[in-house]
Amino acid sequence: MPMIDDPADVIITESRPTDLLAALHESAHAEREYLFAARDADPSDIVLVAWDGEDAVGYIAATDQREDGLLIWEHLVVPSHRTYGLGRRLLGELARRALPGAIVVVDPLGEYDVERITDYYGALGFVREDHDGRIWATVTDVIRATPVPEPAGTERSVPIRTLLSRKGSGVVSIERGATVVEAISLLVRHGIGALVVSTDGKRVEGIVSERDILIGLERDGAPFLDRSIDDAITADVLTCTADDPIAAAMESMTRRRVRHLPVTETGQLAGIISLGDLVSFRLARVETAGTD
């Protein structure tokens, strides 16, 4: 795999449990780095995947089903893409999806070089308890240690939540296991182009769009209509947070060639925006500026 030309071009998506994670785990096996547990991801886990073009090059997985915050159970970057700060970026993106004041914990297994792991996370705001070896930090500490570069210019600094406040935060979702026909009915009824797949209406488990359905119909014909939407969804979903700049979201959607972007806040679904929403918002700002 070639080295990165520009680390800023790496895209981070939210993922659901797939063979992708197992393949990434195995790819890093020869040079284990910050691998904690070879376990399967649960649908309620937060899983972020880093993509260099079409290649998945790292991920971070954590559970937030704890009273005190998040437990990171795996965090890795493949050997060819280390030293570019991707592990740091994944950690920062994870922290920005956690509740304010939450604790982030890593729990390395005994077979790993704990001192090296402690040094790595120590530079990112973590401390290690002497009595039990627990490595932890507050979300605030992690965010402070993994700052996101400020976009240049006023327009580039407008956050997604500004658009949501005008558009509304309502999201039409559908559960896994529903049929393609049911998905089509929801799309038509609400006049939308995509559905967020979510069992509880909070965690993003995938997305299914009109294009996904058309591809399935072209491939399988009419029988596709009665199949589960699991055959049509995209499980590795490009998302953003409510505090991400609108311009950055537009750039990510363009590079990833997607038209719909779920928005999360503290790891939970908070809305969805489309490329059309972004274009309309930008045009409205240009028109307003022109009348000043």
What count of other Cβ atoms lies within 10 Å of the Cβ of residue 168?
8
Q: CA–CA separation, 22 vs 53, rounded Å?
A: 19
pLDDT for 148-181, tens place per residue? 765 544 455 688 888 888 887 789 999 988 999 9
Query: Global pTM?
Result: 0.72
Q: CA–CA separation, 172 vs 271, rounded Å?
A: 9
Domain ranges in the chain? Answer: 7-145, 155-291
Question: Sign (positive/negative) of CA torsion 40, 174, 241, 65?
Answer: negative
pLDDT for 94-141, tens place per residue? 998 888 788 998 876 555 667 778 888 988 989 988 777 788 999 999
139 touches 99 (CB < 8 A): yes
290 touches 224 (CB < 8 A): no
Q: Which CATH superfamily, name and number, covers 7-145?
A: Gcn5-related N-acetyltransferase (GNAT) (3.40.630.30)
CATH class of domain segment(s) 155-291: alpha beta
pLDDT for 71-95, tens place per residue? 888 888 888 888 888 999 999 999 9
- Region of residue 223 (left: phi > 0; alpha: psi -120 to 50; beta: else): alpha
User: What H or E segment, with its residue span, contains residue 275?
Assistant: helix 275-291
Question: HEC states along 191-209?
Answer: CCCEEEECCCCCCCCEEEE
Is the fold of 7-145 the same as that of 155-291? no
